[in-house]
Amino acid sequence: MDSIKIRGARVHNLKNISVEIPRDKFVVITGVSGSGKSSLAFDTIYAEGQRRYMESLSSYARQFLGLPDKPDVELIEGLSPAIAINQKTTNNNPRSTVGTVTEIYDYLRLLFARIGKPHCPKCGKPVKSQSVDQILAQILKLDDGTKFLLLAPIVNQKKGTHKDVLEKLSAAGFVRVKVDGKICDLGEKISLAKTKKHSIELVVDRLIVRDGIRSRLADSLETALKFGEGIAFVETDAAILTFSEKNACVDCGISLPDITPQLFSFNSPKGACPKCNGLGKIFDVRDWSTMFEWMAAVHDFKTTDLPEDVCPACHGHRLNPEALSVRVGNLNIAQVVDMSVDACKKFFSTLELDDTDKKIAAQVLKEINSRLQFLCDVGLDYLTLSRKSATLSGGESQRIRLATQIGSALTGVLYVLDEPSIGLHQHDNQKLLATLKNLRDLGNTLIVVEHDEETIRAADHIVDIGRGAGKSGGEVIAQGIADEISRVEKSLTGDYLSGRKKILVPLTRRQSEQTLTFTDANKNNLKNISVTLPLNALTLITGVSGSGKSTLVEEIIYPRLRETDLTTFGISKVTMIDQDPIGRTPRSNIATYTGVADHIRKLFAATNGAKIRGYKAGRFSFNVKGGRCESCGGNGVLKIPMNFLPDVYVTCDVCKGARFNAETLEVKYKDKNISDVLNMPVDEALEFFANVPTIKRMLQVLHDVGLGYIELGQSANTFSGGEAQRVKLAYELARPLGRAANIYIMDEPTTGLHFDDVKKLIDVIQRLVNRGDTVIIIEHNLDVIKCADYIIDLGPDGGSRGGEIVACGTPEDVANVAKSYTGQALKKILF
Ligand code: ADP
Ligand code: ADP
Ligand code: ZN
């Protein structure tokens, strides 16, 4: 089979479509937001792949996993095992780090266990181990005739009378001990001060070096090592020699445990710092509110941003002192994982090893190096291996999983990806594309939902869904390579690829009269920079991934703006507009979120029908008892739990999905009942309520931001991140401004947006600025960047090589700064 054949797909808005997707190719699915791309890629193709995989498992396994719903599709042929790499699944396990998820940490543990050089955790001197034969040979090398005592250390500087120890030695048949440096007879009474520290060595043998002592010495040495727990002293007139069979510091008397890979695991009791249990932080459990956080951390259910203290025992390194005393190339494992991926790569490529170690480590180093390289290939060279997964952005964790997949070298897999270019600067895009092609060349099929022009142009095959969104979408508009899509007049993607439509560069840039300055910005990688922010303007924060954009905005600008009294600038509030869901229950929708629902209910309550029956506005809400259908509680559907099978939803047979009871539905406003109204898409409602200014105003803005296809009653939990964000924008835009203006902050608002959606988004943002608001945006999309009034470009690179201002000013100014990657990209499109 050289293709995946899909027939009769009807998931969500898909209009019974049939598509053929070539296998072992890099396939991009495009289309405007809400056109049905995810419905095809994730909810149809991936869901079916997943379901078939589950079906192939034993019924025993299935009862734990549950069987997912069969997607509404007639037939899919040529499917292989599918892996989805999307941005939503973030890892909240506090023990999970970049090192552990990429498996690099597992290889490092192996490396440290095999060739690591132990040092004394107390004094730092190298610690060696010798075999009995090696020790024997060293003693026999002493000058002929040398007299010596063979001693075994029993007590090392410990308080007490040590009566039981001495009795035991006597019972074992020994005659002499050395107590605090003096030889004593075990047959006599030895009384030691209980409150003082003492040292006791057992005298195992007295010998003179000469031919013929070898076998007696060997016996005695074994005895000494047994009683000395691996350590023996040889005392001559001139010196005391110490020998250790295990990894022990002969000076401090500390012996190290066996050096195994588990010793380096902060998830194992063998390796974890005993004080913090391997978390690196401690939580003050005397305070009950942090108690919960502590339990959450220990039981891996959630991480938080609450203050935690770095563990004083391990200083956040998570491992016990023994583990941290083992070094490779003079660094311990914690120091290695605290370096950036880039620095780590350099460290291992210049690591000098002796021939034996080189041989032992060759395979492990190969695995480590290739994985580090994959991380560089997806533009993450600035991350440290110790970075907690929970602190990564969606795009970063997606790209890590991508890098991990290449490392796993699977073939014949179908990968389904969701906008892998998110969070990535133009500068790093080529590397990502090379990685995707690499995955394809290993013999895999890639289906990528993407809007980035470079990615679209690089695809082997494009499936363009549209033409519009929601009910106006759900069809395959064009297929082929970029040039073929360009020629299809009906395709919106084609419009932009061909240049029939484009996002225009504004003719002028706004000049601000007022500015705000933020000095001493030095969180994360920021190098104590000062930034100036123009008010009543559109400011873009740009720079490669890891350059410090989010840090600047989320940890400096936003909190400081919130602390500042902005009323003197005529500003009333600062708002972040993110892509988080606008409601988590199926009961919220755009009507309830925007307040339109209230107005609609009042309209219904004011009709004659309602007045005759005595119905108040609340009667027209499906969230409260009264007017809703009580059989389904206003849900319109009933959930039927099926135990080992997936839950089944059936339309409520009482209200037939209308969500209200028959009496309520008899009340009509302009011939429509409340249920009809909730089923209307925004655009239809806009005409229907044309004479009601309060409702029309809100709906008009929803239409303007490109959400005309969303039904008023559609559950908010079905919205994509981009849709949710635009609902929030529309809500802000529709609010009467009053006297004071607002500051809005957005992080990559183009996520999930097609060229045509981006155009609408820019229009909305410009409208906000035109009416007096200030907008600050973190963005990589050049179509947005070129529309800025002012750009703050961070870099030059990621991590420690970033955090500085590389350029700032208008897009034209930045385009003229040669060392700015953003400038280089702007130069190509502006001049
Ligand atoms: P895209 O990925 O192209 O942005 P989607 O496939 O997510 O679009 O959505 C296509 C349409 O289906 C949109 O109108 C969206 O609101 C709707 N939709 C998405 N998920 C659901 C769902 N779980 N239930 C009902 N409608 C949905
Ligand atoms: P950008 O938004 O430009 O991609 P960030 O501000 O997210 O960059 O990151 C800048 C630097 O700070 C990077 O080196 C990143 O790894 C580091 N960093 C960001 N967040 C954290 C965090 N929570 N803990 C430790 N380091 C962080
Ligand atoms: Zn600790």
CA of 279 to the centre of ligand 3 (A): 7
Residue among 98, 524, 822 whose CB has most ligand 2 atoms within 8 A, to mutate: 524
542 lines ligand 2 (CB under 6 A): no
- pLDDT grade, residue 151 (50/70/90)? very high
| CA-closest residue to ligand 1 atom 22 | 718
- What letters, b where the CB count within 10 A reaches 16 and e where it falls short, cover 383-415? bbbbbbbbebbbbbbbbbbbbbbbbeeeeebbb
| CA-closest residue to ligand 1 atom 1 | 34
Neighbours of 103 (CB within 10 A): 15
CA of 15 to the centre of ligand 1 (A): 12
State mean pLDDT over 312-333.
93
- pLDDT grade, residue 308 (50/70/90)? low
| CA-closest residue to ligand 2 atom 27 | 524
Q: Which helix (H) or strand (E) holds 65?
A: helix 59-65
Place of tokens 């979120």: 593
Q: Which residues, in sequence order, are bridge partners of residue 241?
A: 234
CA of 275 to the centre of ligand 3 (A): 5
CA–CA distance, 500 with 489 (Å, rounded to integer): 9
530 lines ligand 2 (CB under 6 A): no
CA of 523 to the centre of ligand 2 (A): 9
CA of 551 to the centre of ligand 2 (A): 6
Neighbours of 643 (CB within 10 A): 7
pLDDT for 64: 60
Chain centroid to CA 469: how far?
30
Q: What is the pLDDT of residues 241-265, one digit of tens each?
A: 888 887 777 677 677 878 899 999 9
- HSE, side-chain direction, 13 A CA sphere, residue 821: 18
816 pLDDT higher than 60: yes
- How many percent of the chain have pLDDT more than 90? 65
- Nearest-atom number in ligand 1 for the CA of 449 is 2
pLDDT for 177: 95
CA–CA distance, 363 with 368 (Å, rounded to integer): 9
Ligand lying nearest the CA atom of residue 391: 2
Place of tokens 């097609």: 754
Q: What is the pLDDT of residues 94-127, one digit of tens each?
A: 788 999 989 999 999 999 999 999 998 888 888 8
Q: Are 388 and 303 in contact (CB under 8 A)?
A: yes
Q: Which of 773, 782, 775, 774 lies closest to 750, judged by CA?
A: 782
- pLDDT grade, residue 51 (50/70/90)? confident
CA–CA distance, 439 with 641 (Å, rounded to integer): 40
State mean pLDDT over 74-85.
90
607: DSSP letter: S
Residue 63 carries which side chain, given as an amino acid letter? Q
7 pLDDT higher than 90: yes
pLDDT for 204: 96
393 pLDDT higher than 90: no
Classified as helix, coil or strand, 571 is: strand
State mean pLDDT over 133-151.
92
Q: How far is CA 543 from CA 422, 557, 742, 808, in A?
A: 13, 16, 25, 11
User: If you write DSSP's letter for every residue of 469-525 in order, what string do you get?
Assistant: SGGG--EEEEEESHHHHHT-TT-HHHHHHHTSS-PPPPSS-PPPS-EEEEEEE-STT
Q: Are 82 and 76 in contact (CB under 8 A)?
A: no
CA–CA distance, 103 with 110 (Å, rounded to integer): 11
CA–CA distance, 165 with 335 (Å, rounded to integer): 41
CA of 268 to the centre of ligand 3 (A): 13
Classified as helix, coil or strand, 275 is: coil
658 pLDDT higher than 50: yes
Classified as helix, coil or strand, 36 is: coil
Based on the number of CB atoms within 10 Å of its own CB, is 637 exposed (0-12), middle (13-18) or buried (19 or more)?
middle
391 lines ligand 2 (CB under 6 A): yes
- pLDDT grade, residue 304 (50/70/90)? very low
CA–CA distance, 88 with 91 (Å, rounded to integer): 9
User: For the chain, percent helix, then strand, then coil, each to nearest 5?
Assistant: 40, 20, 40
Q: Which helix (H) or strand (E) holds 249?
A: strand 248-249
State mean pLDDT over 775-795.
97
Q: What is the pLDDT of residues 423-433, one digit of tens each?
A: 888 888 888 99
706 lines ligand 1 (CB under 6 A): no
| Residue 245 token pair | 């069979």
Beta strand 197-208 with 176-179 is antiparallel
Q: Which of 373, 144, 112, 367 lies closest to 236, judged by CA?
A: 144
State mean pLDDT over 564-582.
89
Q: Give the residue, 501 or 736, on which the prediction is more confident.
A: 501
Prior bond of 81 cis (ω within 30°): no
387: DSSP letter: S
Q: What is the pLDDT of residues 720-774, one digit of tens each?
A: 777 888 899 999 888 876 778 999 999 988 988 899 989 988 998 999 999 999 9
pLDDT for 231: 86
Ligand lying nearest the CA atom of residue 339: 2
200 pLDDT higher than 80: yes
Max CA separation in the chain (angstroms): 123
CA of 522 to the centre of ligand 2 (A): 12
Neighbours of 369 (CB within 10 A): 16
Q: Give the residue, 588 or 586, on which the prediction is more confident.
A: 588
Phi and psi at residue 103, to the nearest 5°: 70, 0
- Nearest-atom number in ligand 2 for the CA of 552 is 6
Ligand lying nearest the CA atom of residue 473: 1
Neighbours of 708 (CB within 10 A): 22
669: DSSP letter: B
549 lines ligand 2 (CB under 6 A): yes
Q: What is the pLDDT of residues 627-641, one digit of tens each?
A: 999 999 998 888 776
Q: Which residues, in sequence order, are bridge partners of residue 248?
A: 255
Q: Are 511 and 517 in contact (CB under 8 A)?
A: no
| CA-closest residue to ligand 1 atom 17 | 12
CA–CA distance, 540 with 755 (Å, rounded to integer): 18
Ligand lying nearest the CA atom of residue 279: 3
- Nearest-atom number in ligand 1 for the CA of 36 is 6
- pLDDT grade, residue 295 (50/70/90)? low
| Residue 306 token pair | 């609450």
451 lines ligand 1 (CB under 6 A): no
524 lines ligand 2 (CB under 6 A): yes
Neighbours of 98 (CB within 10 A): 25
- pLDDT grade, residue 294 (50/70/90)? low
44 lines ligand 1 (CB under 6 A): no
Ligand lying nearest the CA atom of residue 754: 1
303 pLDDT higher than 70: no
13 lines ligand 1 (CB under 6 A): yes
Sign of CA dihedral 333, 335, 341, 345: negative
pLDDT for 535: 96
Q: Which of 563, 514, 565 lies closest to 774, judged by CA?
A: 514
Q: Give the residue, 811 or 95, on which the prediction is more confident.
A: 811
Q: Are 245 and 230 in contact (CB under 8 A)?
A: yes
CA–CA distance, 53 with 65 (Å, rounded to integer): 11
Poorest-confidence range of 176-185, 400-409, 509-518, 807-816?
400-409
- HSE, side-chain direction, 13 A CA sphere, residue 66: 9
Q: Are 447 and 30 in contact (CB under 8 A)?
A: no
